[in-house]
Homo-oligomer: A and B are copies of this chain.
Amino acid sequence: MIGIDWGTTAFRAYRLDPRGGVLDRIEREGGILTVPPGGFPAALREAIGPWLAEGERRVLLCGMVGSRQGWQEAPYLPCPAGPAEIAAAVVPLPFEGAACRLVPGLTTRDAAGVPDVMRGEETKLLGLLAALPPGAAALACLPGTHSKWARLEGGRIAGFATQMTGETRAVLLQHSILGRLAGPGPGSDTAFRRGVRRAGEPGGLLHHLFGTRALGLAGELAAAETASYLSGLLIGHELHAVLAEGQPAGPIHLAGSEALCHAYALAFAEHGLAHRRHAEDIVARGLALIAEMIAWP
């Protein structure tokens, strides 16, 4: 089968054996924002045509391709949800020569009743769940533009909360006065840790953000360290908010890019929290797991 994670800015396709092993992969730019209206079938065929020619007949897609801006909207499924609920809710897509299915995103509500949503991460979380003892309760963190913190219970995704950390960092660095202050340079773990510790002090995030500028003006933070300090500040505040809801009982299960996992691991260490790192392509495992439970034609 073919499993695809089609996000806003990236396209990742996996050719999978029946046990979820990755036989071949394609990673490229060409996220859904680059696809013209009505252009999804052609874009997909262009990408995976060779695999189809070799006989693949099942395609499962997850990610923003199932959003309003994507190929077709797959309605959000409410939590708690596991492989069975998600497989039962896949949406068929019209596509010549192969059976094509879309994984739905998930929705949840926090204690105050405010909704939250994810698309693509539900599949990663199922892949991650498959690596845990059956039925174990765990806290998972998928850092990114919109970091997802999920509670896993009884083999299902019980609930989750999104933190807009990555995007906030990006717009502040690119468009605010903090960006004008930041100079080029390699990431600094020391500056990052300093930001994480600052997040635990009084004043609030909006005060700490301005403090980044004041430290720069006072010559107490180098231009080359500003971006790392800002990351530490934001991830520190994210972690602070998550921990305020309760200390995790076991290690935090972490999956994401090399750079982000490195940063989050530093922040966890500052708080004395254990973590377990998972491979970035747990999404392939999740896709295989869902595919196994679908009644294909």
Contacts of A84 in B (CB 8 A): none
Knowing A214-B162, A218-B107, the reply to whether A237 touches B117 (Cβ < 8 A) is no
User: Closest CB of chain B to A201's CB: distance in Å?
Assistant: 5
Among listed A16-24, A44-52, A167-175, A269-277, interface-contacting one: A167-175
**Helix, strand, loop or mixed for chain A's interface?**
helix
Please, what's the 1-or-0 string for A173-193, where 1 marks a CB less than 8 Å from any CB in chain B? Answer: 011110000000000000000
The answer to whether B206 and A168 have CB atoms under 8 Å apart is yes
Contacts of A165 in B (CB 8 A): 206
Partner of A176, one of B161, B167, B207: B167
The answer to whether B238 and A204 have CB atoms under 8 Å apart is yes
User: Closest CB of chain B to A140's CB: distance in Å?
Assistant: 16
Knowing A111-B202, A203-B110, the reply to whether A116 touches B167 (Cβ < 8 A) is no
Knowing A175-B174, A177-B167, A211-B114, the reply to whether A202 touches B244 (Cβ < 8 A) is yes
In the bound assembly, the distance between CA atoms of A207 and B112 in angstroms comes to 12
User: Closest CB of chain B to A14's CB: distance in Å?
Assistant: 27
